[in-house]
């Protein structure tokens, strides 16, 4: 019996794959557990259109990531941090860098996409990689400057 997998099944296939299995395995295990559906013509067409839509969405996301990468490639992002006697209080985190990117370039980046081995703990310029898409990485310079105290 040919079935379309609705979920990943170890040793059999991934979601959306059309596989040939024994009738009993399909009727007694895969279909009752909603892991697969019988492969009819209508369902095959539906699965094909779902795959095309997914491919189209992926290409749009990739193009958007490339445009964002071109916008910030090699640019400098300035982050202000509290300093006392020439040393940082705490550190500059990925969230601080993401906020600075949004403020300075209008680029919304999830903090988990900013690749830091550890938080930045020194004043100066640091190179940081940002993964905008699984196949698009961009390097930006992060300059950490002391926060200016406001006079009362």
Mean pLDDT of the chain: 91
Q: What are phi and psi of 68, to 5 degrees?
A: -65, -40
pLDDT at position 74: 85
Q: Tally Cβ neighbours within 10 Å of residue 134.
A: 10
- Report how far residue 125's alpha carbon sits from residue 128's, in angstroms, rounded to the nearest whole number: 10
Which residues on adjacent β-strands are paired with residue 128? Answer: 140
Cα separation, 48 vs 128, whole angstroms: 40
The pTM for the full model equals 0.71
For residues 91-122, one letter each, b for 16 or more C-beta atoms within 10 angstroms of the residue's C-beta and e for the rest, the string is ebbbebbbebbeeeeebebeeeebebeeebee
Task: For the domain covering 2-58, report its CATH number.
Answer: 3.40.5.10
Determine the pLDDT at residue 120. 87
- Using N-to-C axis directions, what is the helix angle for 94-105 and 41-72, rounded to 10°? 80
Q: Can you tell me the distance from the alpha carbon of 97 to that of 103, in angstroms, rounded to the nearest whole number?
A: 10
**Domain extents in the chain:** 2-58, 69-146
Q: Quick one: 69-146 is in which CATH superfamily? A: Ribosomal protein L9, C-terminal domain (3.10.430.100)
- Equal fold, 2-58 vs 69-146: no
The reported pLDDT for the residue numbered 11 is 93
**Residue 150's pLDDT band (cuts 50, 70, 90):** low
Lowest-pLDDT choice from 24-33, 58-67, 85-94, 105-114: 85-94
Q: What is the pLDDT of residues 31-79, one digit of tens each?
A: 999 999 999 999 999 999 999 999 999 999 999 999 989 988 888 999 9
Residue 24 has pLDDT above 90, yes or no: yes
């Amino acid at each position: 019996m040919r079935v379309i997998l609705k979920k990943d099944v170890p040793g059999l296939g991934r979601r959306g794959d059309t596989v040939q299995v024994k009738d009993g395995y399909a009727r007694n295990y895969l279909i009752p557990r909603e892991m697969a559906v019988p492969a009819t013509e209508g369902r095959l067409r539906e699965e094909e259109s779902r795959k095309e839509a997914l491919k189209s969405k992926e290409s749009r996301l990739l193009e958007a990531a490339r445009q964002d990468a071109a916008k910030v490639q090699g640019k400098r992002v300035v982050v202000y941090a509290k300093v006392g006697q020439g040393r940082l209080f705490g550190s500059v985190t990925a969230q601080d860098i993401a906020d600075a990117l949004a403020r300075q370039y209008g680029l919304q980046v999830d903090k988990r996409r900013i690749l830091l081995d550890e938080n930045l703990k020194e004043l100066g310029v640091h190179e940081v990689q940002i993964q905008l898409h699984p196949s698009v990485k961009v390097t930006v310079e992060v300059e950490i400057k002391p926060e200016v105290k406001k006079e009362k």
